[in-house]
Amino acid sequence: MTDRIMIAPSILSVNLGHLAHSLDDIKGADYVHIDVMDGHFTPNLTFGPEMVRACKGMTDLPLDVHLMITNPDETVPWYIEAGADLITVHYETVSHLNRVVNYIKACGVKAGVVLNPSTPVCMLENIIDDVDVVMLMSVNPGFSGQSFIEGTLPKLRALRELCGAHGVSPLIEVDGGISPATIERVVDAGANLLVAGSAVFGADDPAAMVEKLRTMGERAAASRGSLRA
């Protein structure tokens, strides 16, 4: 059986003056991806809990909140209260990762861990059994529209091997440079939740682009399953 392929458009690429309209355009997606940046961990400053709360009131899609911040240990409760359905925190920023992951899950929210491009998959050895999601950054965090880092592909394969060794199957998310030019290779390497910002919201028809990406991803997943059967 092949993985279900899910698409999470990132509002980092949205004209915020038309946020409600943009969210309506992607109502066929699986998640809304919200990149929270603090200007410390990343060289950019973006959204906070009020944006999560605003999106919660504008869409029925679940909210995938990606905390690219230096103090998630302290601020995770803000995003839970604001309505996040899935929260991912960076391995590089959390002092007590197991504690934060288990706190998020105890609050009824899916919990995930994110790895920057230069952080190896082996760092997940002692947390992989506890997470609902693992996200690999395929660009350096900070800005939308960056080019896909090819080294993500072997990292995805290593992550699938680690999951297999532990007998777990978290969602495997990839964020950065996802487009029709990259999605098939990313899914073939093991991803099943794809964040796409500029590819979706820069398209003439965002809804059609969501469907195109999902169709391409499902085709790659089916091929992967056939090859490994």
Tens-place pLDDT, residues 27-43 = 999 999 999 999 999 88
Q: Which DSSP letter does residue 147 get?
A: P
Which of 219, 170, 218, 213 has its CA nearest to residue 195?
Answer: 213
More confident residue, 169 or 3: 169
Q: Which residues are catalytic, by number?
A: 35, 175
Mean pLDDT of 105-118: 98
Cα→Cα distances 63→27, 56, 150, 158, Å? 12, 7, 27, 27
Domains detected in the chain: 6-228 (3.20.20.70)
Residue 63's pLDDT band (cuts 50, 70, 90): very high
Tens-place pLDDT, residues 133-167 = 999 999 998 777 678 999 999 999 999 999 999 99
pTM metric for this prediction: 0.94
More confident residue, 89 or 142: 89
Q: Reply yes or no on whether the pLDDT at 95 is more than 60.
A: yes
pLDDT of residue 3: 66
Tens-place pLDDT, residues 1-16 = 346 999 999 999 899 9
Q: Reply yes or no on whether the pLDDT at 17 is more than 50.
A: yes
The burial of 205, by beta-carbon neighbours within 10 Å (0-12 exposed, 13-18 middle, 19 or more buried), is given as exposed
More confident residue, 128 or 15: 128
- For residues 113 and 134, the answer to whether their CB atoms sit within 8 Å is yes
Return d(Cα 53, Cα 33) in angstroms, integer.
Answer: 13
